[in-house]
A and B are shown apart, each in its own frame.
Chain A
């Protein structure tokens, strides 16, 4: 491990800044818990979800955080697996953020279950043909591996585990995100899904989203704790983020072009792409323009690219764009009706043949932000009680910023 020279320390700040963020996180957790207990008591009829749109806003939040978790671990993996020394000091923080995001996402997923009291059944009854069951194993394994990975970075006594566990965690995270994408890829019945490309697409979304979130969170933590970030590292992350975004756009384009080409999927593609639905606006304006093109301009155009604010702005837009992208995939994909009879129109009392509508209620929003709150609280407590943050990332080579 090459980061021996790096000194880590707990965050010393105890002012309004630190406790303000911690309290905000706790408030979000509180909102999530209120929503959970209310849903548990009344049932899901108080949500906007129904028998047509069965997965709603909570699932968007959950998958957003789970995908982000695996992507955030990339920062550590770049240091460990690809031996990039500049990234190695951030490995511990990367691990903490990954665990925090995953637990936040899983909390939303679990608390939205119709019967969350039966979680033990999900842990003891496995249908190994189900990608969901595999994901339960993958999520638990991820938490265990990343926990060990962070431990190996912090404790010299098990330093010999740093490399092998780092490799295992990297491999595991790729499988995990492929598994998350395959939740949709394996749905043969729905025109919106049923494509193997969801596995690599989700891996690439995790690359871009994870990096963008890491840029934002690490910047806030470093500046909040009055520690020095390396300008050189920020520059590297800028190029990496642009590269990941390009890859996401490439896979997204391949997915839609292939679907447009296949007659059986073309109607759905027109629904998503052509402006015939609100989802088209989200897709083009939210995901493509604001979530991809604008941040790419901020990252690459010469008159913006040198500024830290451009990088932060781009990262924030990528985070927002990824959320919208997942919203369009998850909700938009369900809004389009199932095809019972190709080349025929269908109608029924069960809303066959019609575009389904979905309006989330405040309970779903509260449950979703509750997961974000869990992530936030875990990060804030983590950096306060353990040595996750390097004291300084300043290098002599670059004129570093505070």
Chain B
């Protein structure tokens, strides 16, 4: 009994010490708050005066983003379609382990739809189902997707999945339909209510979410101070997901 109390004391002490160190070293990435997002009034369309983006500090993600992936999976209910093979399972977000061929330096990061400013998936979609909202969120209109999968061919980030079977018990806020394509929608249903995306909430110490159009937003300030790297920036698509320390 006494031994257990000592262990608990040690854990609390070390956790407190860790928090202090973290808060001192990287203040710009701490204190993720829902204040970064303001709710959209129901009678107003999405505004082009906003541009939602995300900055992920890979060094602070001790699990490589696994908790973010789990949160996404829980929020949207993908990843355990009963009939689909492993290759056919949807994956809106996954942890990618990257190893430099020369130095063998290795790190892991979460990869999902990068919400490009010039999204190839939107360009190629014949019906306009693959769309970019005025505030920069790229997603699929489930009502007009015909399931041609051309957007999956066009996406450089392999961010899209096709639903290979009829599904039951879907999340009411995130319907998934057989024969249509789906991907990270930046938790548009949460953003509109003034909440953070589920993955951001799962890694508050490592991710800043906010309005890239607002120069005073925390994400704009953090990008100004620390910079940020876009995956495959060479393609000129200007993704709105930035990474630190990759």
A351 neighbours in B (Cβ, 8 Å): 87
User: B12 → chain A, closest Cβ, in Å?
Assistant: 34
Point out the residues of chain B lying under 8 angstroms from A44, CB to CB. 88, 162, 164-165, 179
Q: Mark B203-234, 1 if CB is under 8 A from A, else 0.
A: 00000000000000000000000000001101
User: Are the C-beta atoms of B164 and A349 separated by less than 8 Å?
Assistant: no
CB–CB B153/A334 < 8 A: yes
**A126–B125 Cα gap in the complex (Å)?**
9
- Interfacial chain B residues near A116, Cβ < 8 Å: 146-147
**Chain A residues in the interface with B (C-beta under 8 A):** 42-45, 50-55, 113-116, 118-119, 121-122, 125-127, 129-133, 135-136, 183, 186-190, 334, 338-352, 356
CB pair A132 B124 closer than 8 Å: yes
Identify the interface centre among B122, B146, B162: most chain A CB within 10 Å of its CB.
Answer: B146
Report yes or no: B146 in contact with A343, Cβ–Cβ below 8 A: no
Q: Which residues of B contact A347 (CB under 8 A)?
A: 96-97
B179 with A114: CB separation less than 8 A:
yes
**In the complex the two chains form, what is the Cα distance from A128 to B119 in whole Å?**
15
A334 to B180 CA separation, bound complex (whole angstroms): 19
**Beta-carbon contacts under 8 Å, B53-99 to A:** 81, 83-85, 87-91, 94-99
With A51-B87, A340-B111, A347-B96 as given contacts, are A189 and B154 in contact (CB-CB < 8 Å)? Answer: yes
B235 and A118: CB pair below 8 A?
Answer: no
Q: In the complex the two chains form, is A343's CB within 8 Å of B100's CB?
A: yes
7 closest cross-chain pairs (CB), A and B: A114-B147, A114-B179, A189-B156, A50-B87, A132-B126, A43-B165, A45-B164
Which residues of B have CB within 8 Å of A55? Answer: 149, 153
Measured CA separation A188–B157 after assembly (Å):
12
Centre residue among B147, B157, B180 by max chain A CB count within 10 A: B147
Across the interface, A43 reaches (CB within 8 A) one of B90, B128, B164, namely: B164
B101 touches A43 (CB 8 A): no
Q: Which residues of B contact A51 (CB under 8 A)?
A: 87-91, 152, 160-162
- A52, A115, A347 — most chain B CB neighbours (10 Å): A115
Query: Does B39 belong to the interface (CB within 8 Å)?
Result: no
Chain B positions 152-211 with a Cβ under 8 Å from a chain A Cβ: 152-158, 160-166, 177-181
A-B contact pairs, 19 of them (CB 8 A): A113-B179, A114-B179, A115-B180, A119-B146, A121-B127, A126-B128, A129-B122, A131-B124, A132-B124, A132-B148, A132-B150, A136-B126, A183-B150, A186-B123, A340-B98, A340-B158, A340-B231, A340-B232, A348-B111
Are B124 and A43 touching (Cβ within 8 A)? Answer: no
The secondary-structure label for the interface of chain B is: loop
Indicate if B113 sits at the interface (CB-CB under 8 A). no
CB distance from B148 to the nearest CB of A (A): 6
Nearest CB on A from B244, distance (A): 15
- The answer to whether B126 and A133 touch across the interface, beta carbons within 8 angstroms, is yes
The chain B residue sitting closest to A330, CB to CB, is: B153
B48 within 8 A of A: no
Residues of chain A contacted by B157 (CB below 8 angstroms): 338, 340
A335 and B177 alpha carbons, distance in the complex (Å)? 26
Task: Say yes or no: A349-B162 contact (C-beta < 8 A), given A45-B85, A132-B124, A356-B87.
Answer: no
Complex contact A346–B98 (CB within 8 A)? yes
Q: A50-B87, A114-B181 are in contact. Are A341 and B123 (CB under 8 A)?
A: no
**A237 CB, min distance to chain B CBs, angstroms:** 36
B156: nearest chain-A partner, CB-CB: A189
Q: Nearest residue in A to B152 (C-beta to C-beta)?
A: A54
Is A127 a contact partner of B128 (Cβ separation < 8 A)? yes
In the complex, which of the residues B122, B129, B164 has the most CB atoms of chain A within 10 Å of its own CB atom? B164
- Bound-state CA distance A375–B78 (Å) is 40
B145 within 8 A of A: yes
A186 to B156, CA, bound (A): 12
